[in-house]
């Protein structure tokens, strides 16, 4: 009866398992360290620094795909838990960009859109208008809006929601576009191939 030998052979920074003379697999001794380094590298590639925190998942099955063009519209309707806190649905836009950035995927300017309406509508106010309305020191969303715009996000507000919330055009923060309605924006963008991400 023939006897098969199992042999471990060092190959570069790994170990090769040889069974019956056939190389079966290579086990990298630096694999975990390399995965950890990739996770740290992803954190260092934050597109929207200070917002949208992400945690490394080195062995994830599905990751951002550099072959895809990411055209996404975020439907933002929910208000923050308190008026002095940034809107968590808006922060999710930053998280999405940071997740993509961790794998060196950067959407083109305007390929990520946030349309704001419903109870979330006041987040588009200028600092002074927000402070007067919500009785806060200012608009806690202002730095996040600025960071998202810097990253190429198009931020829109529903004109119908503005009317419903008694918001005048001059009270809208700089750089936020006013659309006729969120319904129209959501329909148009999806028909143009944008993926919808609800809040």
CATH number, domain of 137, equals: 3.40.1260.10
In a domain, 1, yes or no: no
Total domain count, the chain: 1
In a domain, 14, yes or no: no
Give this prediction's pTM: 0.78
The DSSP H or E segment spanning 198 is strand 195-198
Cα four-point dihedral sign 78, 82, 87, 88: negative
The tens-digit pLDDT sequence of the chain (199 residues) is 444 444 444 444 444 444 444 444 444 444 434 444 444 454 557 899 999 999 999 899 999 999 999 999 999 999 999 999 999 999 999 999 999 999 999 999 999 999 999 999 999 999 999 999 999 999 999 999 999 999 999 999 999 999 999 999 999 999 999 999 999 999 999 999 999 999 9
**pLDDT at residue 46, as a whole number:** 84
Residue 5 has a CB neighbour count (10 Å cut-off) of 8
In a domain, 48, yes or no: no
User: 155 is written with which tokens?
Assistant: 């931020």
**pLDDT at residue 17, as a whole number:** 43
């Amino acid at each position: 009866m023939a006897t098969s030998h199992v042999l471990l052979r060092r190959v570069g920074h790994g170990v090769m398992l040889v069974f019956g003379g056939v190389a079966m697999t290579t086990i990298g001794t630096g694999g975990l360290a390399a995965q950890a380094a990739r996770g740290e590298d992803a954190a260092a590639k934050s597109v929207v620094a200070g917002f949208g925190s992400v945690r490394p998942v080195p062995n994830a099955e599905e990751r951002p795909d550099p072959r895809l063009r990411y055209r996404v519209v975020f439907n933002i309707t929910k208000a923050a838990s308190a008026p002095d806190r940034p809107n968590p649905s808006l922060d999710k836009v930053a998280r999405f960009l940071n997740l993509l950035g961790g794998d060196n995927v950067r959407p083109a300017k305007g390929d990520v859109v946030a349309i704001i309406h419903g109870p979330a509508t006041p987040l588009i106010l200028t600092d002074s208008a927000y402070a007067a309305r919500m009785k806060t020191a200012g608009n806690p969303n202002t730095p996040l809006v600025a960071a998202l715009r810097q990253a190429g996000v198009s931020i829109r507000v529903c004109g119908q929601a503005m009317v419903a919330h008694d918001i005048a055009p001059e009270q809208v923060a700089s750089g936020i576009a006013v659309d006729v309605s969120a319904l129209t924006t959501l329909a148009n963008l999806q028909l143009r191939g944008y993926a919808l991400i609800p809040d």
